[in-house]
Structure 1
Amino acid sequence: MNSVIFRRDVSVYDGAWATAISLLLFCLFRIFKLRFFPPPSPSPSIADSVSHPQIQSIRRPRVVSDEDLKWLIQNLEESKEAAETWEHVIHKTNHRISYSAKRCKPNDGGPMKYLSVTVFEDCSSEMLKDFYMDNDYRKQWDKTVVDHHQLQVDSNTGIEIGRTIKKFPLLTSREYVLAWKLWEGKDNFYCFTKECDHDIVPRQRKYVRVSHFRSGWRIRRVPGRNACEIKMFHQENAGLNVEMAKLAFSKGIWSYVCKMDNAFRNYVAIPHRPHESVLSALALIAKVPSELESQTVDVMGTNGGEKILTHEAKQKKKLMRKPSKKLIAKGLVLVGGAAICLSRGHSALGAKVALAYLLTKLNKRETPLKQQTTQNTII
């Protein structure tokens, strides 16, 4: 009996040592890279330019147009859903908020597409719109946002361009240079955002520039209730492993939504309104073209997104509950910025998986972004 316990203790110690060694190797690699290949510091001219956004006409073809709004409406109403296979991800609810999401791999091989519906109780659509567009307030509650700056505003078209830096555990921070525009309809609001380039912020080695970003939402009241719904379409290529991104989204999105709801309630209670003196896309909101107003009927209804969970999705959800041979470990947790793979009851196996994962990251860290990658969703 003592020999069995001793062997188990040795296995546990071996696993702990293997995990510690793998983390040590990763730390040494980071130190070596920072010591001999320091990231270039941004020039003063770039920093000064970002601090003073250009409020003028954007001297390039319209980055965001009414055609993008039309495309967004089609995706929100799922007019092309029949040709694609959607996978149910999550449906959660409490007394203040409900959230449902599904995803699908596009037939054209692009990044993963996400479609979500969030219903906030006891709120107005105007307040929810202001909350989603207040990037300064987002920096206070969203700890993944390291920095955000307005770069340019086109007073003629209402298009705004901004730059956001987001941190990812164990990975290089991601840089988002995005353009967006808002529209106001009869009883709803739309926003569409896409990637773009800007002369003020050239690419830098210390960041990974997100190469593909398509995201948009619609906010409207829920009929018969003191609640508002925001339905969002999201697709991006942030250079993350597809399976890891899917796992991170599935396990972490509800916690993020609850945190966002708390921030929204504080936003309502405290006067964190966008300053009217600052020109932005919110102040330059456009009207939805009349030919698109007739296309804004939501085939899903307004029941908090419950219809996202279709019969087919329910069947897939049952199948997903079965053990998968592709899953080596039970999950992935982030502890103090270190990725540790857990395999219940087998510490040594978990350590080997962690070591293999870290070595893979060291080898593939500097590879270019691939089309068949996706990320955590931005809500």
Structure 2
Amino acid sequence: MPPLEALVGAAELWRPAARGAGGWATAAALLLLLVAHLSVLLVRRRRRGRARLARQQAETPASPDSPSSGSASSTGVEGLVTEDDLRQLVGNLGVGARQPDLEGWVPVIAKGNDAVSYKAWCDKTTDGPPKYLSVTTYEGCSTELLRDFYMDNEYRMEWDNTVIKHEQLQCDENSGIEIGRTVKKFPLLTPREYILAWRVWASDENSFYCLVKECEHSLAPRQRKFVRVRLLRSGWCIRKIPGRDACEITVLHHEDNGMNIEMAKLAFSKGIWNYICKMNNALRRYPQHGGPSVSILTMRRLTKKFPQDLQINMDESNRSPVNTAAAVAPPTHSSGTSPCKQLGKKSSRETIASGLLLVGSIVCLSKGRSNLGAQLAMAFFLKKAFKQDKQPGSSPRGRTDATVSMQ
């Protein structure tokens, strides 16, 4: 097919000298040629999309952070989440959550109110999205209630507007592993599809551990209308805070959902506190929600006992002089400057705002196959967000105005 410029140039040779039926015929012929040319371009674009989808299906991503990875069809369900994964998670939580600043984690946000407090750090990777470490403390909450709330997928669809669908694909009674499919929507982006395997353990101190990992499953073939998340490794520990009527959840999270890295970091920093407040409100309503859902009944039945040797090692480690609760406790609210504002000054976020608006939004949204109107909408949103940060004399508040959450 010749280029479009050649077709338009050739049309000049067919133009009649006088008006009449010949002029309309020439215009119709030119229109047909243009339609044919555009049809060829669309066919080529579809072929490239199919080839890209085939390459994605052929890839089986593996993360160096986990000792075992694979699909349910190739390695078996029992090999998706193992006790070795749990041991690595316990080691990472024990080191990172005690003194994250000394371990190289970069502070992102620290906020709180009378009911909930949140603190997060990130670890920038060289070739992918950052890892996040967070500690959320809930006052007047038991570990069992927080565990059920976090694992109740049916209830999550009621309060979390990013989750539009969840279904269980498989569960294994012997290993305690569950596999599920979740679809999430994000503003101006193509919905993301998560195929996840997870496993829950209970320790002697009424603490709970969970490890979640991406996988593939025969009951969840890839669909073009969703973007399949290629990497998700997430682990958490729920435990009671000694001497207080409160419990905390410490989370290590690493996810690559196809978004531009800079835009994902911006969305997290500006939207996570609003999401935490929304989550806390849903947690307080949870006891009145009704009886346990199918997700909770399944989780309770499949929860495994914490390995005894690992429990002994943890007990010895807890006798050390380092106090985890004191190390990760949020700062007092008497300070006149918010920790987020201090972090923003150090990273010079306002200096790079214009660059993110022009480059980041286009790159991010192009991956979601958004149109020009969506790109302009995102640019307007980011412009408004940065204007709020630049307002003189602004004081920290308990909630942010961001609308994007990245849980």
Q: TM-score range by the shorter chain?
A: 0.5 to 0.7
Partner deviation per Cα, 1:97-154 (whole Å, 9 max, x = no partner): 11110101136x3431100011111111111111111000000000000100000000
Contact 2:111 2:330 in 1 (8 A): no
Alignment-derived partner of residue 23 in structure 1: none
Q: TM-score, normalised to structure 1's length?
A: 0.68
Q: 1:198 aligns with which of 201, 209, 217?
A: 217
From 243, 247, 262, the equivalent of 1:243 is 262
Cross-structure match for 1:326: 352
Structure 1 Cα separation of the partners of residues 349 and 162 of structure 2? 32
Q: 1:300 to 1:245 in 2, by over 3 A?
A: farther
Cα pair distance change 1:308/1:72, threshold 3 Å: farther
CA distance in 2, matches of 1:266, 1:307: 24
Q: 2:85 and 2:128 mapped to 1: Cα distance?
A: 17
Q: How far off is 1:86 after superposition?
A: 1.6
Deviations 1:330-367 (A, max 9, x none): 97999x973133558x99xxxxxxxxxxxxxxxxxxxx
Q: Does 1:227 align with 2:246?
A: yes
Residue matched to 2:31: none
Cα deviation code 1:35-58 (max 9, x no counterpart): x97x99xxxxxxxxxxxxxxxxx9
| Counterpart selection for 2:147 from 129, 132, 157 | 129
Secondary structure of the residue aligned to 2:90 is helix
| 1:255-293 alpha-carbon deviations (Å, 9 max, x no partner) | 1000000100110233242348x8623321001111211
User: Are 2:111 and 1:92 aligned?
Assistant: yes
The answer to whether 1:159 aligns with 2:159 is no
Distance 1:254 1:112, change over 3 A: same
C-alpha distance in structure 1 between counterparts of 2:211 and 2:148, whole Å = 15
Partner of 1:21: none
Higher relative contact order (CA 8 A, sep 6+): 1
Secondary structure, aligned partner of 1:215: strand
Could you tell me how far apart the structure 2 residues matched to 1:303 and 1:273 are? Answer: 34
Q: 1:302 to 1:249 in 2, by over 3 A?
A: same
User: Is the alpha carbon distance of 1:289 and 1:275 closer, same or farther for their aligned partners in structure 2, counting shifts above 3 Å?
Assistant: same
Match of 2:305 among 270, 280, 287: 287
Aligned to 1:73: 90
Q: Secondary structure at the match of 2:255?
A: strand
> Percent identity at matched positions?
45
Asked if 1:115 corresponds to 2:133, the answer is yes
2:324 alignment partner, one of 294, 298, 301 = 301
CA distance in 2, matches of 1:86, 1:308: 17
Secondary structure at 1:138's aligned position in 2? helix
Structure label with greater radius of gyration = 2
Counterpart for residue 350 of structure 1? none
5+ residue gaps in structure 2? 1-41, 51-74, 333-338, 366-372, 388-403
Q: Is the 8 A contact 2:143 2:239 kept in 1?
A: yes
**C-alpha displacement at 1:184, in angstroms?**
0.3
Kindly state the Cα deviation for residue 328 of structure 1 after the two structures are TM-superposed.
0.7
Q: Tell me by how many angstroms 1:327 deviates.
A: 2.0
Q: Number of aligned pairs? A: 292
Q: Which residue of 2 aligns with 1:62?
A: 79
The structure-2 alpha-carbon separation of the partners of 1:236 and 1:300, relative to structure 1 and needing over 3 Å to count, comes to farther
- Contact kept in structure 2, 1:119 and 1:304, CA below 8 Å: no
Q: TM-score, normalised by structure 2?
A: 0.64
Secondary structure of the residue aligned to 2:174 is coil
Q: 1:315 Cα shift?
A: 11
Corresponding position of 1:19: none
Confirm whether residue 168 of structure 1 aligns to residue 186 of structure 2. yes
Q: Secondary structure at the match of 1:339?
A: helix
Instruction: Summarize the Cα distance change of 1:270–1:214 in structure 2 as closer, same or farther, 3 Å threshold.
Output: same
One-letter code aligned to 2:141: C
Q: Structure 2: how far apart are the matches of 1:248 and 1:326?
A: 15
Per the TM alignment, residue 314 of structure 1 is displaced from its structure 2 partner at its CA by: 9.6
SS of the residue corresponding to residue 324 of structure 2 reads coil
Residues 158 and 280, structure 1, Cα contact 8 Å, conserved in 2: no
Please give the secondary structure, in 2, of the residue aligned with 1:295. helix
Name the residue aligned to 2:274: 255
What are structure 1's unaligned runs of at least 5 residues? 1-32, 41-57, 348-374
Q: Is the 8 A contact 1:300 1:307 kept in 2?
A: no
The letter for the 2-side match of 1:77 is G
Aligned to 1:142: 160
Going from structure 1 to structure 2, the CA distance change for 1:321 and 1:208 (only over 3 Å counts) comes to: closer
1:186 offset after TM fit, Å? 1.4
> Which whole-Å CA distance do the structure 1 matches of 2:182 and 2:340 have between them?
37
Separation (CA, whole Å) in 1 of partners of 2:273 and 2:150: 17
Instruction: Report if aligned partners of 2:77, 2:172 keep a CA contact under 8 Å in 1.
Output: no
C-alpha deviation, 1:96, in angstroms: 0.6
* Aligned mates of 2:329, 2:301 — CA distance in 1: 33
SS in 1 for 2:95: coil
Q: Deviations 1:12-67 (Å, cap 9, x if unpaired)?
A: xxxxxxxxxxxxxxxxxxxxx9xx97x99xxxxxxxxxxxxxxxxx9455100001
> Cα gap change, 1:78/1:149 in structure 2, threshold over 3 Å: closer, same or farther?
same
Task: Give 1:307 deviation, angstroms.
Answer: 6.9
Choose between structure 1 and 2: higher strand proportion. Answer: 1
1:339 partnered with 2:365? no
1:305 to partner: Cα distance = 2.6
Which letter does structure 2 place at the counterpart of 1:148?
A: H
Distance 2:103 2:128 in 1: 13
Any idea what SS the aligned residue of 1:253 has? helix
Q: Does the C-alpha gap of structure 1 residues 308 and 162 become closer, same or farther in structure 2, counting only changes over 3 Å?
A: farther
